[in-house]
């Protein structure tokens, strides 16, 4: 399979002229729809942990498809709600969970990653570092736990480090398909999510998901996770 | 029907054609990983899981149905079902495959779907819309018979679930886990599905399975 030329531009999505941060747009019917958020780094910036080819496909094809289908589902939901069509509203829930979840999860994922020059892989300090040591014993123990659960996940899904904002406790959870972390508990806030769908690693790591999991920690953006944790557990 | 004692250890069965035989539609590269790594791992891991348990020595189908446990899946189910599913998948394809079915199978498809084209559309749509990992199937059902009297159905299943544990007889399957198509088609699952229908599907195998299924009922 020939490698397509890698783009160094982060995204082509802003061609429509909509807002570039998280890409929320409002159509003439007052319905908020979404567009592909920019990556804060180039596609090749996470190499060799994650290949530029994967980053480009993952962002431009997979994430974009979730957004396109989420927008479609939202339009259909808007219609069904205006007509008071309850069966149609309920029937659309799975499309919303799949595609909306895909958009939510991937938006978090791009922030969870950073090039090494940008602090990727640098261990968390401050309150999050302390909480990890306190709860899991060490950062390494947390990594081993997340890698084990990520490797054992059957099919497609995510492995998460989250914080229960009510209990002020760190948790490791997995979710299936594109279910967001909140489906495992309404007070769970995602700090780090690792995509273990095969599209996230297959071109580079093939069937060896454990190698992908081992290597992704080199580009995990603990700065983002620490800031978020500090907000939830001041 | 002849019965034989199942072996103490389940073996990885090779596809009924060489690994490069489905080129260029399904590359040798894909087959070497899909069969050589994924399918092999399901077999090896299943054997490890059932050694020393009451499941050891049972047939693959037996292990699968027992560990399906009426939907409350036991740990070996994923491996057992995936072994079965992949055996079935290799059998669903052949070099120089594709085209249209004929004979009794075509008649049955036309009777239950209206036309081959309508069946093909429904099968492709099921394969394209199975969210996450899973499979799409053409199945034969007599018990329970659907209220509209149709014998053939298109189903889609998540992860390792298959029609056998749901009480149907499988006739044809396509694997839509991303590992089945990502090296050759990347995100373009619909392209993979089209090529599968046009160039890979073994209608001979499907016809043979329908014949067996009908003879069991007769």
Query: Domain holding A195: CATH number?
Result: 3.55.40.20
Cβ-based neighbour number of residue A133 at 10 Å = 14
From B159, B179, B183, residue closest to A154, measured CB to CB: B159
Q: Would you state the pLDDT for residue A2?
A: 41
Same domain, residue pair A125 and A160: yes
Check if the beta carbon of residue B16 is closer than 8 Å to that of residue B53.
no
Q: What is the value of ipTM here, to two decimals?
A: 0.94
Q: Would you state the pLDDT for residue B5?
A: 67
pLDDT digit string (tens) for chain B, length 218 residues: 556 666 679 999 999 999 999 999 999 999 999 999 999 999 999 999 999 999 999 999 999 999 999 999 999 999 999 999 999 999 999 999 999 999 999 999 999 999 999 999 999 999 999 999 999 999 999 876 677 888 999 999 999 999 999 999 999 999 999 999 999 999 999 999 999 999 999 999 999 999 999 998 76
Q: Is the pLDDT of residue A21 over 50?
A: no
Same domain, residue pair A127 and A219: yes
Q: Assess if residue A219 is contained within a domain.
A: yes
Query: Domain holding A73: CATH number?
Result: 1.10.287.990
Same domain, residue pair A122 and A105: no
Q: DSSP label at B137?
A: E
d(CA B117, CA B140): 18
Same domain, residue pair A128 and A31: no
Residues sharing a CB contact under 8 Å with residue B25, sequence separation 6 or more, in sequence order: B184, B195, B196, B199, B200
**Residue ranges making up the domain that contains A27:** 9-111
In B, what residues contact A, Cβ < 8 A?
A: 27, 33, 37-38, 41, 78, 131-134, 158-160, 177-179, 182-184, 186-187
With CA atoms as reference, the chain A residue closest to B75 would be A154
From B41, B132, B178, residue closest to A177, measured CB to CB: B132
Single pTM value for the model: 0.92
Check if the beta carbon of residue A152 is closer than 8 Å to that of residue A178.
no
Q: Assess if residue A77 is contained within a domain.
A: yes
Check if the beta carbon of residue A230 is closer than 8 Å to that of residue A61.
no
Q: Assess if residue A3 is contained within a domain.
A: no
Q: Is the pLDDT of residue A29 over 70?
A: no
Contact across the interface for A199 and B178, Cβ inside 8 Å: yes
pLDDT, one tens digit per residue, over A157-212 is 999 999 999 999 999 999 999 999 999 999 999 999 999 999 999 999 999 999 99
Same domain, residue pair A66 and A129: no
Cα→Cα distances B23→A207, B19, B97, Å: 21, 9, 11
Q: Is the pLDDT of residue A113 over 60?
A: yes
State what percent of residues in chain A have pLDDT above 90: 85
- Interface mutation vs chain A, best among B133, B135, B157, B181, most A CBs within 10 Å: B133
């Amino acid at each position: 399979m020939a490698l397509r030329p890698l783009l160094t531009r982060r995204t082509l999505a802003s061609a429509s002229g909509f807002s570039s941060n998280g890409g929320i747009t409002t159509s003439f019917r007052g319905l908020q729809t979404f567009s592909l958020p920019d990556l804060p780094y180039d596609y090749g910036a996470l190499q060799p942990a994650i290949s530029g080819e994967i980053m480009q496909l993952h962002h431009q094809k997979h994430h974009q498809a979730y957004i396109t289908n989420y927008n479609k589902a939202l339009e259909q939901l808007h219609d069904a709600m205006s007509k008071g069509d309850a069966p149609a509203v309920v029937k659309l829930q799975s499309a919303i969970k799949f595609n909306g979840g895909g958009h939510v999860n991937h938006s978090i994922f791009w922030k969870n990653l950073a090039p090494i020059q940008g602090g990727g892989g640098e261990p968390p300090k401050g309150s999050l570092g302390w909480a990890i040591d306190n709860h899991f014993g060490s950062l390494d123990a947390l990594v081993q736990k997340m890698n084990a659960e990520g490797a054992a996940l059957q099919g497609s899904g995510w492995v998460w480090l989250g914080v229960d904002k009510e209990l002020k406790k760190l948790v490791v959870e997995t979710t299936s398909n594109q279910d967001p972390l909140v489906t495992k508990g309404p007070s769970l806030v995602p700090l780090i999510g690792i995509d273990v769908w095969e599209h996230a690693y297959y071109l580079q790591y093939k069937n060896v998901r454990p190698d992908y999991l081992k290597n992704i920690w080199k580009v995990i953006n603990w700065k983002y996770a620490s800031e978020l944790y500090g907000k939830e557990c001041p | 029907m002849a019965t034989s004692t199942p072996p103490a250890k389940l073996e990885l069965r090779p596809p009924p054609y060489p690994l490069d035989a489905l080129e260029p539609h399904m590359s040798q590269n894909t087959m070497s990983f899909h069969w050589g790594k994924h399918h092999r791992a399901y077999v090896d891991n299943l054997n490890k899981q059932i050694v020393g348990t009451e499941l050891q020595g049972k047939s693959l189908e037996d292990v699968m149905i027992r560990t399906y446990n009426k939907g409350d899946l036991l740990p070996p189910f994923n491996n057992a079902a995936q072994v079965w599913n992949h055996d079935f998948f290799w059998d669903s394809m052949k070099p120089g495959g594709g085209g249209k079915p004929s004979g009794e199978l075509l008649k049955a498809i036309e009777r239950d779907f209206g036309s081959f084209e309508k069946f093909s559309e429904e099968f492709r749509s099921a394969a394209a819309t199975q969210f996450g990992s899973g499979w799409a199937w053409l199945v034969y059902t007599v018990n329970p018979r659907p209220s509209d009297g149709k014998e053939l159905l298109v189903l889609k299943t998540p992860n390792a679930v298959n029609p056998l544990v749901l009480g149907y007889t499988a006739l044809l399957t396509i694997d839509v886990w991303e590992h089945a198509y990502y090296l050759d088609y990347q995100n373009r699952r619909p392209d993979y599905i089209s090529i599968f229908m046009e160039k890979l599907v073994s209608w001979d195998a499907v016809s043979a399975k329908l014949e067996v299924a009908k003879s069991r009922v007769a």
